[in-house]
Chain A
Amino acid sequence: MRTLRFLLKKEFLQIFRNKTVLKLIIALPLMQLLILPLAADFEIKNINIAIVDNDLSPMSQQLTSTIAASGYFKIIDSGNSYKIAFQQIENDKADLILQIPQNFEREMVREQSGNLFIAVNAINGAKANVGSVYLNRIIMEFNANIRTKLVGNTQNATLQSMEITSQFRFNKYLNYRLFMVPGILVMLVTLVGTYMCALNLVREKEIGTIEQINVTPIRKHHFILGKLIPFWIIGVFVFSVGLFIVAYPVYGVIVRGSIAVLYSYLSIYLVAVLGIGLLISTYSTNQQQAMSLAFFFLMIFFLMSGLFTPIDGMPDWAKWITRFNPVTYFIDVMRMVVMKGSGFVDLKVHFLVTIGFALFFNTWAIWNYRKTS
C-alpha cells in the first residue's frame, strides 16, 4: 500500500505539471459538449425545393405558399421550367422538384382529382426521405383543406378524415439534444479515459523509465493501480463537468433517475475503459502506435454504439457486434437514467456486462504487461 501511495503521488505531480493534459481535461469536454450536439442534429430543415408551376392558378399559388410557410423548405427559383429545375438537382442546388401540371386547378374543381409530380434528389438519402415525407404531408393537408372548401359539408367529406394524435413520452417535445447530449458525454469520457491511460503508459516506455520501474521490486498490480486510479478520478471529473456544468445549464438535461445509479455505473465503466487503454499500451512500443490502435477501436466503438444511428436499424451481424461494445451499454444507461429515470433493477444486465468488460480487459492487460521478457 505504501508503494501505491508513492506511485500515486508521482502520477498526480506529473499530471498537474503537464499543462497540455490539464487543458485537455478541462477544455475538451466543455468544447465538445458545446459544439457537437449542435452539429449532430438530425432534424432536417432548409430542404431546397424547386417548384415548377405550370398552372399559375390561385390554387397552385396557394399550395406554393403553404409549402413556403411550413418552415422546412426553401423555395428555389427555377423560372417554372422543369429543365432548369432538373439541372439544379444535378448541381445539387435543389433537393426536390414539385411539378404542378397545367390545368391543375381546373381538374381539381371539375374532376375532383389532380396530379402532382415530385422528383427527389436521393444522393443524401436521409434528406431525400425526410423531404418527400414532409412534402407529402403538406400536400395531404392542403388536399383536405380544399376538399372541405370545394365539396362543402357533404357526406363524403367526412369519409376520409382520420386523425392520429400522438403523445411523446420521455421527451415530450422531441428535443433532439436531450437524446444526443448524454450520448456525447459518454463518448467524451471514453475518449479521455482510453487515450490518457494508453498514452501515459507508452510514454514511460518511450522515455525508458518503465525499464527503471521494472528493475525495482514494485509489484505489477501496484504499478497498474498507480496508473488506473488517477485516470479514474479524472474520468469522473470530466463526466461531472460535462453533466453539471454543460449539459444541465446549456441544454437543460436533467437526470430523471438516480444520480447514484449513474455514478455507480460510471465507476465500473471507467475501469473497463481504462483497461482498454492499458491493454493498448501493452501492445504498443511508442505513442504513435498507441494512438493508431486507440483510434481504430474507438472509431468502431462509437460508430457501432447507437450514438448516431439506431442499433435497431442495423443488420443482425452488426447488432451482434454492438453487444460486445462497452460504449453501447453506457449510452443506453445514460439515456435510460437521464430520460426515462430507469433504476438499478432495469439496468442489472448493463451493470453485469460492464463488470465483465472491466474484468476481461484488465486481466488481459495485466497478463500482457510483463516486467520480464
Chain B
Amino acid sequence: MQPIVISTEKLTKQFGDFTAVSQITFDVQAGEIFGFLGANGAGKTTAMKMLCGLLIPTSGKATVAGFNVFTQTEQIKRNIGYMSQKFSLYEDLTVLENIRFYGGIYGMRTRDINSKSLDLIKRLNMHEVKDKLVESLPLGWKQKLAFSVAVFHEPKIVFLDEPTGGVDPVTRRQFWDLIYEAANRGITIFVTTHYMDEAEYCNRISMMVDGEIMALDSPSNLKKQFNSKTMDDVFYKLARNAKRGD
C-alpha cells in the first residue's frame, strides 16, 4: 500500500446559498493516476482549486502532501504542479524562457534548470522551436509543453484541469504518454476530463454529480458495478439525473 498524498473528509465549498462541492471524502495514493470526472458544473474545478490552495474550503478537512488546505496553502504550493483549463504559459515568451521562468520561481538551482530544460526540449522534440514564441506553437504542442512545465520542478502531485480540451486524438495519446512517464517517476496525477477513453487510462476514478461524489473505483470495477460495457455508459447512468448543468 502506497502512502496517501491527498486525503479529504467531508470537504465542502459554498458560494452564498450555492453548495458547489458538498461533503466529498476520498483518498489518493502516491503514484496513482486519479481521474476526477463529472458533468459540466458538477464542481470538479472548485474541488481541485481547494486542493491546490487557490480556494479556501467552507468546511470539512483535507490534506495535500501532508499539509492542511486551510492553513498551509503556501507549503502545499511548493509541493504541487498545476495546469489549468485556460492555457497558462506566457505566449509572448519563448519555449525556453517559459521553462526557465517556472523553474526559477519554484526555486530550482540555475545549473539544474539549464541541464533539465535542454533534456526536456529533447524529450519533447522541440529543439527546432525552443527559441520561438509559445504563441506560434500548435495547440497540442502548447498543452504538452504546459504539462511538462507543470512537472518540471518534480512536484509530489500534479493537478490537471481538463488538460486535453480541443486537442486531436493523436496528440492526446502522446499527452497521456507524458502523464504515464511522470507517474512512473512517482508523481501523483490528479486529472479531470470529459473524455471517457482517457478515464480508462486512470487507476481509479471518481464521478461527481451536483457537487457530490457518487461513485469511486477503478474503471473496470465501475463498469461491473453499473452493469455497463463502456465508461461512456457509466457516465451517462450517473450524470443523467444531474440537476445542474450549463
Q: Name A residues whose Cβ lies closer than 8 Å to a Cβ of B.
A: 2-3, 5-7, 9-10, 13-14, 17-18, 207-209, 211-218, 371-373
Contact = CB atoms under 8 A, between A and B. Distances in A.
B55 interface: yes
Interface stretch (B18-26, B83-91, B214-222, B223-231): B83-91
A17 B93 CA distance: 9
A6 B86 CA distance: 23
The 4 A-B residue pairs whose C-beta atoms are closest, nearest first, are A208-B86, A6-B104, A212-B88, A215-B82
Nearest to B103: A6
Contacts of B56: 372-373
B92 interface: yes
A5 B113 CA distance: 15
Contacts of A14: 90, 92-93
B105 A208 contact: no
Nearest to B146: A212
A215 B93 contact: no
Nearest to A218: B105
Interface string B41-61: 000000000001111100000
A40 to B, nearest CB: 37
A208 B90 CA distance: 10
B105 A3 contact: yes
A146 to B, nearest CB: 76
Nearest to A6: B104
B92 A216 contact: no
Contacts of A17: 92, 133
Given A3-B105, A208-B87, A211-B86, 17 more contacts: A2-B104, A10-B93, A10-B101, A17-B92, A208-B86, A208-B88, A209-B89, A211-B54, A211-B84, A215-B77, A216-B102, A217-B74, A217-B78, A217-B106, A218-B105, A371-B53, A372-B54
A7 B74 CA distance: 18
Contacts of A372: 53-56, 73
Interface residues of B, number: 29
A6 B92 contact: no
B95 interface: no
Nearest to B159: A215
Contacts of B107: 2-3, 217
A214 B84 CA distance: 11
Contact of B104 (A3, A207, A213): A3
Given A215-B80, A217-B74, A207 B91 contact: yes
A218 B104 CA distance: 10
Contacts of A213: 105
Nearest to B50: A372
Contacts of B102: 216
A4 B84 CA distance: 24
Contacts of A207: 86-87, 91
Interface in B81-124: 82, 84, 86-93, 97, 100-102, 104-107
B77 A217 contact: yes
Given A217-B106, A372-B53, A373-B55, A212 B82 contact: yes
B101 A6 contact: yes
A132 B200 CA distance: 90
Contacts of B91: 207
A5 B88 CA distance: 21
Given A18-B92, A217-B77, A212 B97 contact: no
Contacts of A7: 105
Contact of B77 (A13, A208, A209, A216): A216
A216 B105 contact: yes
B73 to A, nearest CB: 6
Contact of A215 (B52, B87, B133): B52
Contacts of A5: 104
